[in-house]
Amino acid sequence: MKKLKDTPYYYKAIHEINYSFGDFYLFDTFVVGEFRENVNVSWKENGKLIAEELSNLYDNNGKDIVYISHRVNDYSLVPTDWKTFFNLKYNLKAYGIISYTRTGFFNAMLERMFINSKFKWFNSLEDAISWVAKISNTEVLQPLSNRASV
């Protein structure tokens, strides 16, 4: 399991935001978030900051954005904080979780109970990006190494 920064997809990001608690990679129609090891993710500590900044950068409440949680590190999350996110009129077109462990899969299923948008679980970054392309009607991001030379 590689961090997005260690893949060819990194070079297709239009913006990168780095916080002490995690890194976020922005693309035209989606965001990939990677929280740091042992972070306690909550609305109060980091969710509100991320939601406000992304809403300003994308100039909307998130209704056209897919968020992909790329869980390359172990951290804790308050799943009920998603209620606060949606109650404050933030939105997502869809939410995907990439997890590489059985525990991660079960945590994703618990979190799903609090999500008010399309939801899907993946075990690879490539599959998640392909899914974004399908639901956003956009071209799949091809890693630079896979592009045909002109």
Taking Cα atoms as reference points, which of 11, 14, 33 lies closest to residue 23?
33
- The predicted pLDDT at position 124 comes to 95
How far is CA 114 from each of CA 69, 118, 127, rounded to the nearest angstrom?
15, 11, 23
For the stretch 73-82, pLDDT in tens is 999 999 999 9
> May I ask the CATH class of domain 16-136?
alpha beta
- The predicted pLDDT at position 141 comes to 66
For the stretch 34-52, pLDDT in tens is 999 999 999 999 999 999 9
CA distance 19 to 5: 15
* Mean pLDDT estimate for the chain: 90
Where exactly are the structural domains of the chain? 16-136
- The predicted pLDDT at position 119 comes to 95
DSSP state of 18: E
Q: Looking at the predicted structure, is the pLDDT value of residue 145 above 70?
A: no
Q: What is the mean pLDDT of residues 111-139?
A: 91
Q: Looking at the predicted structure, is the pLDDT value of residue 142 above 80?
A: no
Strand stretches in 45-85, DSSP E: 66-70, 76-77
- The predicted pLDDT at position 150 comes to 37
- The predicted pLDDT at position 75 comes to 92
CA distance 70 to 30: 12
